[in-house]
Structure 1
Amino acid sequence: MIKVMKFGGSSMGNIDALKRTSSIIANDPAKKVIVVSAMSGVTNYLIKCISERPDPSSMIDHLKHKYHTAVQDLLSGDHFKVCMQEIDTSLSALSEQLKIRWEADSDPVLEDRIFCWGERLSAILLSNILAGRGISSVAMSSEEAGIIAEGTPTNGSADLELTHANLSRTVIPLLDKGITPVITGYYGVNNNGNPVTFGRGGSDYSGSVIANCIDADCYEVWTDVDGFMTSDPRIVPEARTVDEMDYGEAAELAYFGAKVLHPRTVEPVRQKSIPLIVKNTFNPDGHGTLVRNQKCNSTEIVRSVASKGDLSIIKIYSSEIVYNPGLISRLIASVSEAAVNTYAISTSLSTLAVVLPTPAIPCVLSKLNALHENQIEKMTVKNNVSLICCVGDNMINTFGVAAKVFSTVSATGANVEMISEGASDVALNFMVPSEMAEDVIRSIHRKFIGG
């Protein structure tokens, strides 16, 4: 059996977490590839430093203290010496990159290289910890493994075909020799040799890409929660773990609010029907959530309800929308040029409504105004709205689901601002005022899930 195990920042975050993580790996008999995120707080620190530009030596001293402390607590003898040397060598290379960056006003390509340095340090640290436990292991950067990416800085995508060919040469032979590779998550490398990150939380996606490209039997995501929940427990204290769901449900929840997985994690494993299991590093004996290509035949209409805030609705009014298909194409293309996620689109006889992140609204409006479309009569923006996502694999086949959901919403006094239904077989999405979102979630959970 071959599995990919991804460990997030909380699983790498401190001495206790690193001990737990290394024990989980050591106790698993399968051939495995380990994918790691940066230690908790490291990526945020690097991003903050790019904007504040502190002296590079002070940055390196801060990181050196963090990693040296972990090495001193967890390793001894030759393993200690080797790890300290590798950490210091990596930090010296980072210092040089920072000096180059400080000389430029802006360099998104170099910034992406810096942002993923925490993953490089994590791979070095964990591979040496495993070696100290007698596990043959090697740290590999995404460059060394051959994870090929395309796209723009902070918004990359993996080229699965090229990556598959590379991992067949770089990773599979190590597994055949009984060696455990520890590979950097979060980024790949483009044809020019530059790192391209996959967005925040992108290590989940990295692990899924690797699972796809080595034809793994299983992909495990180890994090600090027990799996997908029926809702956010901070909003619904009685929320419980969902034992099993299909790929579609997990993908919808990841994209529309649940913070368990990077939104793009599901697709690479779904392509090859590789089971995905979300597990808790701090509760390793827990069941977790199994995600696979199989309907669960649950009697529950709604399996989980999530929300996504900080959204706005742009409405574009034109009497030509329904009669001029080219107009809609130009409007959508203009929104796409802003390179932001679109969470819902709805049309009527004379209106196009688009749900977007609120911080992106000024840029999108600028793009739309630049079209100089005399057919646009006006544009309005409604801020402070949240998207509610109800997920369940029986929803599409159950009569009257929408009526029951919206009756429940109405009882809270919330107005439904926009509805997206029918595009997904497993989800019903709609917008409500942000100040009502938590009440709506609690009411839907109580009505359809319980508690």
Structure 2
Amino acid sequence: MKVLKFGGTSVANAENIKLVKEIAREASEKEKIVVVVSALGGVTDLLLQTAQLASVQDENYREKLQHIEDRHIDTIRDLIPPGAQSKVLAQVKKSLNDLETLLDGAFMIGETTAKLLDKIVSYGELLSSFIINEYFVSEALDSIRKDSRFLIKTNEDYGKASVDFRATAELCENYFGTVTYRIIVVPGFVASSGNRNTTTLGRGGSDYSAAIIAAVIEASSLEIWTDVSGMYTANPKWVKQAFAIPNISYKEALELSHFGAKVLYPPTVQPVLDKEIPIQIKNTFKPSEEGTLITKSSNGKNKPVRGISHINNVGLLSLEGTGMIGVPGVSKRLFEALSLAGISVILITQASSEHSICLGISNDEIENARDVIDEVFAFEISLGKIRPCTIEKKLAVIALVGDNMKSHQGLSGKMFSALGKNNVNIRAIAQGASERNISAVINENDVKKALNTLHERFFEDHVKQLNLFVMGVGNVGGKFLGQISKQCKYLREQLQLNIRVVALSNSRTMVFNEEGLSLENWEQELQKGDKANREDFFSKVKELNLRNSIFVDNTASDEVAGSYSSYLKNSIAVVTCNKIACSSAFESYIDLKKLARKYSAPFLFETNVGAGLPIIDTLKNLIASGDQVNKIQAVLSGSLNFIFNNFNDKASFSDIVEQARDEGYTEPDPKIDLSGIDVMRKILILARESGYEMEIDDIKNESFLPEECIKTEAVEDFFASLNKHSGHFEKLYSKAESKGCRLKYVAQFEKGKAKVGLQHIPADHPFYNLEGKDNIVLFHTDRYTDQPLIIKGAGAGAEVTASGIFADIIRIGNF
């Protein structure tokens, strides 16, 4: 004989009950079955609400009662053929009249007792089981209903009665041993005392009823039919990558169910545990799916972590003081007081010094717990030996579960390292001696991020998801998004990186999608977005609180650069091609570096110098390996190199500058490039990355622009000024040509001093043949003395700049 239990969602309405009928029909063809059913979905809550209204003499209880009646009458009319409805309707209406009498009584006296409340809520299962059995019979199934009050006996602890297993076993053996029907429908949750008073089995009571019956009749298996396909590696509503665990042990299932896996109520396992009756968790709406099989052994030896679960609505209570050290009986007094107050403890952790003890307790009970404990230790508190209890609310417990965790080293380290890298602060830690569970108390706002972080770490074949928040989608930003779209498959398959763009913003609009924006039509999505606002953008990034978050700045904005510290303080990595932050005040530059280290949030800016060239990364490696930079010579402006490589006596300087702007080699305002400020920022960043303290004002700028050009404000005025002074630029070219030299805008750092300016480069110099928009950097170091270390390549252009940003993101993914 097999026991099948169907929960509230499985019997919520007529359509769902029809699915239950098919499952029962198929199972009964193989062996006799017991079908244990819950109340119609939501009815138990409605009954409790109705009783509460009646107890405070609120007339609205009648409307609730009418709604309960309508639910059941409608279900009957949808399930039972018209010719057979009258008998069923008559019986249900009689039961509802009895229920109304009970509620009227509660209304009259203005209260409900625990005994009365058990009678009221029992009607949910009593009605549903009657209707479902009558439907089975109408469909020609060999079915009979047996009231569970004649099978399961309990004490009179109303609301959560304890089962008398000896009496229950005798009743079940006598009944199930003689019944000849293929299907026996039984209401879950409901039982009765020795005095025949109706009792209930508490939260999850229908599961418990099924397990009790399965145990006492020694069923071949117990099937729990619900709305999910088994016990998942994590809550699938919060972790999209979660999957059903094919096989799990009883003890693992107990741990997971204790920590919030709601498909199974913890006491359910107990009656079948000793008899080793397998439990199968199945999906009523997808009956062909395998589900989860719970047995004595998990068969998961190669997978130490079998699941990740959590409990919300937790508070942390701390009791500490020198008066606890070495004093026997403190723990006894503490837990005895909580037990007498009916307060359950979720988690316990105590320092080895015995100076403090922390308890995880439901938020709803923690203030009462504090008052109880303060009263018990009032004498010690008055003497200052123990401090009054402190409490912290809005926390959650997150737990790794697995039978074989004890035989695998480093799991705790991996768990806490993964959480730490994502700024999930751990308030307390507990691990049982069995090492089947590692629990941590965290802020409840971090639960979703923590679950996804740990699931990624332990279940997703080390595929790391990066969540990008991109500000600036112009020339560089657009190319960057195109590169990501093209490489997504390669990154996942070859580098185990899953890059998801969660947000985009330009100067007008911004758009967010937690599941990831489409990179095929992001322009259209952005056009439909909300009005852009830098502060709102940051607030939304912070609110989403996603793991492995990266803020990508493709702008040249001072304001955006000024927001980096806010991102870093929230453990959000920053990748930028914006040079302003790293070339601002030295103190600010250092602060950003410190924040990156403190909050484990990478701050990468490779594209600040040389676009996609690995200049900064190479420099970092030189310094990290103990080398010393003595001198830097560089052509660092791809735009200026392009301009002077194309400028000659056949074209005007103004036309060449305009061409460079149109092709994307300069900033929208070319004066930024031609004034030398861009190159100054770059050599400043290289000097700082070399370990030198320097400010932008320390750099000598030997400008080649006439004063009038520098003082212009509008871009149009700047180009007009270039045309006006065309003779000045022609003389610069002619002078260099007469010496057999080329004009190059050179940055130089040596002996703690830096300068930038236009230079005549002879034919034998490494800079002479630098073509197009290329950059070149010469590092003279303690190790590179005879010949400098040279890095050369394209140093401007949207494609190479985007590729540099992309490379920084991949670096973060590989951290």
The TM tier, using the shorter chain, reads over 0.9
2:349 matched residue in structure 1: 346
Pair 1:363–1:115, CA change in 2 (3 A): farther
Quick check: 230-239 or 364-373, which moved more?
364-373
Pair 1:257–1:56, CA change in 2 (3 A): closer
1:132 aligns with 2:124: no
Q: Which has the higher contact order (CA 8 A, sep 6+)?
A: 1
Pair 1:398–1:232, CA change in 2 (3 A): same
Q: Deviations over 1:188-223 (max 9, x none)?
A: 222343333222332111111111111111000000
Quick check: 401-410 or 293-302, which moved more?
293-302
Deviation, 1:172, is: 2.9
SS of corresponding position for 1:116 = helix
Contact persistence 1:257–1:306 (CA under 8 A): yes
1:158 matched residue in structure 2: 163
Structure index of larger Rg: 2
Counterpart Cα distance in 2 of 1:281 and 1:393: 28
AA partner of residue 139 (structure 1):
R
2:453 matched residue in structure 1: 443
AA partner of residue 35 (structure 1):
V
Pair 1:57–1:444, CA change in 2 (3 A): closer
1:75 matched residue in structure 2: 80
1:4 matched residue in structure 2: 3
Counterpart of 2:214 (choices 206, 211, 215) is: 211
1:112 aligns with 2:102: no
1:332 aligns with 2:338: no
Contact persistence 1:186–1:197 (CA under 8 A): yes
Pair 1:4–1:236, CA change in 2 (3 A): same
Q: Which runs of 5+ in 2 are unaligned?
A: 464-815
Contact persistence 1:257–1:389 (CA under 8 A): no
Q: Deviations over 1:280-307 (max 9, x none)?
A: 0000111010000013134223221111
Aligned-residue CA RMSD in angstroms?
A: 1.8
Counterpart Cα distance in 2 of 1:285 and 1:195: 37
Counterparts of 1:334-413 in structure 2, within 5 Å, are 334-348=337-351, 349-371=354-376, 373-376=378-381, 377=386, 378-413=388-423
Quick check: 184-193 or 51-60, which moved more?
51-60
Counterpart Cα distance in 1 of 2:296 and 2:144: 33
Deviation, 1:426, is: 2.1
AA partner of residue 225 (structure 2):
W
1:306 aligns with 2:314: no
In the alignment of these two chains, the number of paired residues is 447
AA partner of residue 112 (structure 1):
D
1:276 matched residue in structure 2: 279
Counterpart Cα distance in 1 of 2:339 and 2:290: 40
Contact persistence 1:3–1:219 (CA under 8 A): yes
Counterpart of 2:105 (choices 72, 89, 100) is: 100
SS of corresponding position for 2:17 = helix
Quick check: 392-401 or 96-105, which moved more?
96-105
Counterpart Cα distance in 2 of 1:407 and 1:445: 13
Deviation, 1:224, is: 0.5
2:51 matched residue in structure 1: 50
Counterpart of 1:226 (choices 220, 224, 229) is: 229
Using the size of structure 2 for normalisation, the TM-score is 0.53
Contact persistence 1:36–1:183 (CA under 8 A): yes
Counterpart Cα distance in 1 of 2:233 and 2:371: 39
AA partner of residue 410 (structure 2):
G
Quick check: 80-89 or 214-223, which moved more?
80-89
1:421 aligns with 2:420: no
Counterpart Cα distance in 2 of 1:295 and 1:189: 36
Contact persistence 1:79–1:131 (CA under 8 A): no
Contact persistence 2:150–2:191 (CA under 8 A): no
Quick check: 425-434 or 77-86, which moved more?
77-86
Counterpart Cα distance in 2 of 1:107 and 1:359: 22
Deviation, 1:77, is: 5.3
Using the size of structure 1 for normalisation, the TM-score is 0.94
1:190 aligns with 2:196: no
Deviation, 1:131, is: 0.7
SS of corresponding position for 1:154 = coil
1:122 matched residue in structure 2: 128
SS of corresponding position for 2:257 = helix
AA partner of residue 120 (structure 1):
L
Pair 1:116–1:370, CA change in 2 (3 A): farther
Deviation, 1:372, is: 5.0
Counterpart Cα distance in 2 of 1:312 and 1:357: 6
AA partner of residue 22 (structure 1):
K
AA partner of residue 41 (structure 1):
G
Counterpart Cα distance in 1 of 2:17 and 2:269: 26
SS of corresponding position for 2:186 = strand
Q: Which runs of 5+ in 1 are unaligned?
A: none
Deviation, 1:141, is: 2.5
Contact persistence 1:318–1:375 (CA under 8 A): no
